Amino acid sequence: MTGFSQTDTSFVHFRNPTSVSPAKGYSHSVEVDLGNSKMIVISGQIALDNKGNLIGKNNLAEQTEQVFTNINNIVTESGGTMDNVIKIGIFMTDITQVQVMRDVRNKFFNHLKPPTSTLVQVCKLVRDDLLIEIEATAIIPKKDK
């Protein structure tokens, strides 16, 4: 038996929107056709703007704002809203600042129906100047034609 590989990838589309930093060696998101809806799996987003500049050096609130802005841009360009986000995975270098992250997060999500969430403290992210990284999954209903 050989390793798993999808021979029909017509229902999977890899995306790198220009509204987020240029991707090097990965895709920012993958869109999967589910029939009546599509699933958007979003790579971990960091506090880089669409030109690759760090936003919020040494400032968790500003970095978190940029991360959620990136996620919002990807979801919007896929035809959805932040209400379509069903799961987020949060990686922080200092969990004692969780309330700072929550305060920013609550600007982007309906806090009465928030997405499922995992929060993990890590010792380091891909760059020393990053304080947070967040991945997300959204399910976006297809519009009637």
Per-residue pLDDT reduced to its tens digit, 24-43? 888 888 999 999 999 999 99
Architecture in CATH of 12-141: 2-Layer Sandwich (3.30)
At residue 7, the pLDDT reads 55
**Strands, DSSP E only, in 16-63?**
29-33, 37-45
At residue 1, the pLDDT reads 42
Burial 79-110 (b: 16+ CB within 10 A, else e): ebebebbeebbbbbbeeeeeebbeebbeebbe
Residue 2 above 60 pLDDT? no
Tell me which DSSP letter residue 41 carries: E
- CB 40, CB 138: distance < 8 Å: yes
